[in-house]
Structure 1
Amino acid sequence: MNKYIILLRGINVSRKNKIPMADLRDLLKNLAFQNIQTYIQSGNIILESEKSKSEVCKFIKDGIKTKFGFEVTVIVKTVSEFKKAIKKYPFSTDNPKIVAFVFLNKKTSKTQIEIKNIGEDKYKIDDDIVYLICPSGFGKTKITNNVLEKKLEVIATTRNYKTTTKLLALATE
């Protein structure tokens, strides 16, 4: 049995793409996933399955489209990929409120991109993740999902330090 951490992008934001977590858990149970947990309302799931990462992604994406009537980005990671991402974080985590992880749907060969006016904010691209530290705050940073998606030609979803480490803790309990 494989344990996965699934990240949904763009649900329950500004009254768009509403998915109650209880309904999401019911859907996942009906799709034959096991030991399902959700964390907060922003689309964080931990579950177990015999399916591959790509199969899990397709089943969840298709299930949400069928049950809720809209498409969402689904990024599936293994527990070991999450551990590696946290371990490789290249910046200080002394102030976790300015730390974030941008998970990408596929690896990128790019290691640098041009983003104007980022001030003290920093990023590091590493295959299928972008590490962020944003002293200006996430509400003001120019290093956004949309910018990264356009420049890297990927789909991205961001999680802050607290959420990322909590998901790993829940997955390894």
Structure 2
Amino acid sequence: MTTYIALLRGINVSGKNIIKMVELKQLFINLGYYDVITYIQSGNVLFKSSIKEQQLLEDTIVAAISKHFEYDVNVLVLTKNELTTIFNSNPFLAKDSAMDISKLHLTLLNNEPDLSKKHQIETLVINSDDEFIIHKNSVYLHCPNGQAKTKLTNNLFQKKLNSAATTRNWRTITKLIELSNQ
């Protein structure tokens, strides 16, 4: 059995695409997944499965949510090992392990980013304290003035990097790692 983390984008935000976590958990159980745990209302689900194809898992979850809840949402499925590697590779924490993690976020991309428009993103933050580092399918964010005030949004990365994306704060990523190790 492999431990997976499913990250759903755009549920329970601003009163839209409301899914109760108890119902989402039951949906995953009905799909045949084991040891299902949900974390906070923003669509973080840990589960175990013997299925090895992550794309199949993503497609199955998307289809089940569409059928059961009638919402079209982006789902990204990572293995525990993949998320652990991403977690341990945070370049901002490598530079300063005492950094305030409340100012750190992570945007995860569904595929390899198209970097041809990266300079457009850099231009947006040239006169700002905000920083981002793209590493493989991850965008590490440091927003010292808070995520609410940054131009480095999920939609921006999705559009400029030509990839579906979902963003989580670093505390959530830390908690998902902790839960995956239980």
The TM-score with structure 1 as length reference comes to: 0.96
- Which of 107, 110, 127 aligns to 1:105? It is 110
Question: What SS does structure 1 have at the residue aligned with 2:106?
Answer: strand
The Cα offsets for residues 75-105 of structure 1, whole Å up to 9 and x where unpaired, read as 0111111111111101145201100111110
Match of 1:130 in 2: 139
SS of the aligned residue for 2:160 comes to: helix
Corresponding residue SS for 2:115:
coil
SS in 1 for 2:77: strand
d(CA) in 1 for partners of 2:105, 2:130: 11
Q: Which residue of 2 aligns with 1:40?
A: 40
Task: Give the superposed CA RMSD.
Answer: 1.3
Task: Give the equivalent residue in structure 2 for 1:78.
Answer: 79
Contact 1:110–1:125 (Cα < 8 Å) also in 2? no
Is contact 2:114-2:162 (8 Å) kept? no
Q: 1:114 is paired with a residue of what secondary structure?
A: helix
- In the alignment, the residues of structure 2 paired with residue 113 and residue 159 of structure 1 have an alpha-carbon distance, to the nearest angstrom, of 23
How many residue pairs match? The answer is 173
Give the drift of 1:33. Answer: 0.7
1:114 alignment counterpart: 120
TM-score using structure 2 length: 0.91
> SS in structure 1 opposite 2:112?
coil
> What fraction of aligned residue pairs are identical, expressed as a percent?
39
The structure with the largest helix share of the pair is: 2
